[in-house]
Amino acid sequence: MSKKLTTNQGVTIGDNQNSMTAGRRGPTLLEDYVLIEKLAHFDRERVPERVVHARGTGAHGVFTVKNSMKKYTKAGFLQKEGQQTEVFARFSTVIHGLHSPETLRDPRGFAVKFYTEEGNYDFVGNNLPVFFIRDAIKFPDVIHSLKPDPSTNMQDGNRYWDFISLTPEATTMITYLFSDEGTPASYRQIRGSSVHAFKWTNEEGKTVYIKMRWVPKAGIVNLSTDQASQIQAKEFSHATRDLHEAIENGDFPEWDLFIQVLDPADIDKFDFNPLDATKDWFEDVFPYEHVGTMVLNRNPENVFAETESVGFNPGVLVPGILPSEDRLLQGRLFSYSDTQRHRVGPNYLQLPINSPKNEVHNNQRDGAMPFKQQMSSINYEPNSYDTEPKQDPRYVEDEQDLIAGKVGRLEQEKPNNFGHAREVWNRYSDAERDALVNNIVGDWEGVREDIKVRNLRNFYQVEPVFAERVAKGTGVDLEKHIADLK
């Protein structure tokens, strides 16, 4: 016998089959420590699931720089061709719960933690290049509308189509989500987008805006509604299984990372705000520049300790990378880490999956489960002790000019709610337009007439043919509702 069964206190367990009782027919005794510990821990095996991105899978890998980004950023892990950085990637569905089918129409989360020599850097994006809203103050509302009705616990198209009809900025997201890209064939075959613009600064202090794009080497492959239904009838975890088995079989998935660059001097040359998260940067306007390649080559050993306990935040940045003024991004900078402190605990960054590879020195102490407790009695700074950590004046954070001239609850300039959706429609092939129309028509079964009409009015401002085709498929008399738009 190589290993003895023990309690969490290390005490050997001689009988793991029978509770301690008062006689063979008597009641169980409260003094049975083994039983109490075992049940109490079992009761606490789960932490609260993520409000969004609950259903996910992940893998370890490596990122290799193919082209130095030195001209754009001083970020250490992007300086030299051939430079490698360990990563952990997590893919997820956004709206649905922990045990939901992976065939459901939903954006897919695409998050990558880079364990760089300068500390962790988190890429936190989606497969779709835009989002429903442009301001974080509306995030709880859009998610509430997409989540199950709190009275029935069922997702209801009347709820989310109602919200979308009254939120014209969401129209572009709908043209992506209700294409077949809303139901990817696998995680290996999804693209990734930062959604937000970020700032990169180089050693000379020059700043550019960038967006990041991941392109799968396996190609982008999606499911039709019928294909998704056929898979869901047999398998709830087809995407998780596919990724896990591919890595186990040595068929390591790969993505090329590209950036798109915008000179801040050019930000006002467009009829939309390029920092608006509801707007895409189309490749023919903002060319792709190849950065490097990510290969995922190792599955987690413990899904809970790694995939479920990993925490991401788009504000986890290294020198040379800064957040942009994107209003949705600004809210996410707070919300994501706050979620992990609630879910996993205040010391979630001490878990191996979240801990940086370089040493951590600060005066943050205690809290629940501080298993990497800093032991020095000098837990303040400034201090006069040579052996204790001090601030490093050689590290100077990049100063940035303010764009806004006043403070207030101000509407964003150049919202252009429908122009980008029109661009997407015009770029789609006939087959992609057919799928978009058919998927919306299928989803509108049971949706109230007035909600359909409001959405059709939005679609009409995107492209009249788009609205006409959806109206025909749902039996709505469009003409009497759009006279004022003509």
Q: Which residues are catalytic?
A: 53, 126
Six token digits for residue 86: 């360990």
DSSP 8-state class, residue 132: S
3-state class of 64 per DSSP?
A: strand
Q: Nearest 5°: phi and psi at 184?
A: -65, 150
Q: Is 336 annotated as a binding residue?
A: yes
Q: Which of 58, 49, 99 is nearest to 340 (CA)?
A: 49
Q: Please confirm whether the linkage preceding 274 is cis (ω < 30° from 0).
A: no
Alpha-carbon gap, residue 186 to 199, rounded angstroms? 31
Q: Which residues contact 25 (CB under 8 A, 6 or more apart)?
A: none
Instruction: Give which of 261, 294, 260 is closest to 65, Cα–Cα.
Output: 294
Query: Does residue 326 contact residue 135 with C-beta atoms inside 8 Å?
Result: no
| Integer Cα distance of 257 and 63 in angstroms | 9
Buried b (16+ CB within 10 A) or exposed e, 311-332: bbbbbbbbbbbbbbbbbbbbbb
Q: Cα–Cα distance between 143 and 155 in angstroms, integer?
A: 11
Interatomic CA distance for residues 369 and 426, integer angstroms:
54
Return binding residues for heme: 336
